[in-house]
Chain A
Amino acid sequence: MASVTADKTLDTSGLNCPLPVLKTKKALEELQSGQILEVISTDPGSKADIPAFCQRTGHELVETVEEGGKYIFYIKKK
């Protein structure tokens, strides 16, 4: 369980590279600065790709949870 509450959830289950990153970017556009986006992914590549996306774009990766083959990321919009 994550310690943060999300303002919006994006489920990319079943999708593969590069779709989780592209959809995350789009979903963040709809949020206000400081709001939290929850991204659910089943793509093992996103484990490294989502942190790289955050590092590059300046959004803060607040928390990552791995459970039952799913990767859940909490991203705070910059």
Chain B
Amino acid sequence: MASERLAIIATKGTLDWAYPPLILASTAASLGVETAIFFTFYGLNIIHKQKMKQLKVAPVGNPGMPMAFPPSVKKTPVAGQLAGLMEAIFPGPPQLMGVIPGMTDFMTAMMKKMMKENGVATVEELLELCKDAGVKLIPCQMTMELFGYKYEDLIDGLEPPGGAATFINYVLEADKPMIIFV
């Protein structure tokens, strides 16, 4: 059978953007495709021991973000009615609200709660599932040096740091190479 390789490039270091590469990679590997994720620039934060716990979702510059409250909040008597009213008035948090101190943390907490209540896996869980499924997790050498991240700062079970040429070569060695940029 012709070999198939899927390579995903993860460049974003926010909670919401950590999901697409991890979901696609773990699923592709489960479907029998050889899969790798190349973590570069802020994407490195997803595999950074400390920073992975502090991934946030930013309301600023994110007009697509819905004003969504977790089901448990909506069921609470007074807070739930307020939340329903907010959702009815604003399709999303007004961009100006994003600059209020603590707003990013608040939206992050809401998002995490909503994900939990909807049965969405955490970033840590998805990383474990990726490793279990045999996804190769490759940190980018150049951005590690740029940001001052040491290999020990990153989670266990990673491939050795690689550069662009190593990565492109890894993908193109397959009969059917695929790249997804996130």
- The 8 A CB mask of A4-18 against B (1 = contact, 0 = none) is 000000000011111
A53 at the interface (CB under 8 A from B): yes
B164 at the interface (CB under 8 A from A): no
What separation, in Å, do the CA atoms of A57 and B133 have in the docked complex?
Answer: 14
Looking at the assembled complex, report how far the CB atom of B22 sits from the nearest CB atom of chain A, in whole angstroms.
Answer: 9
Q: DSSP class of A's interface residues: helix, strand, loop or mixed?
A: helix
Partner of A56, one of B31, B119, B121, B129: B31
A22 at the interface (CB under 8 A from B): yes
Evaluate whether A15 and B27 lie within 8 angstroms (CB atoms) in the complex, with A22-B129, A22-B133, A57-B32 already known.
no
A70 at the interface (CB under 8 A from B): no
For window 1-40 of chain B, which residues contact chain A by CB distance below 8 Å?
23, 26-27, 30-32
Task: List, in ascending order, chain B residues with CB within 8 A of A26's CB.
Answer: 132
What separation, in Å, do the CA atoms of A58 and B132 have in the docked complex?
Answer: 21
Contact present for A21 and B120 (CB under 8 Å): no
Task: Tell me the count of chain A residues lying within 8 A, CB to CB, of chain B.
Answer: 15
Chain A residues proximal to chain B, CB less than 8 Å: 14-19, 21-22, 25-26, 43, 52-53, 56-57
- 9 further interface pairs, Cβ-Cβ under 8 Å (given A18-B121, A19-B119, A22-B133): A16-B120, A18-B30, A21-B30, A25-B30, A25-B133, A53-B31, A56-B32, A57-B31, A57-B32
Q: Show 21 residue pairs from A and B whose CB-CB distance is below 8 angstroms, ordered by the A residue.
A: A15-B119, A16-B118, A16-B119, A16-B121, A17-B23, A18-B26, A19-B119, A21-B27, A21-B30, A21-B31, A22-B26, A22-B30, A22-B129, A22-B133, A25-B30, A25-B133, A26-B132, A43-B119, A53-B30, A53-B31, A57-B32
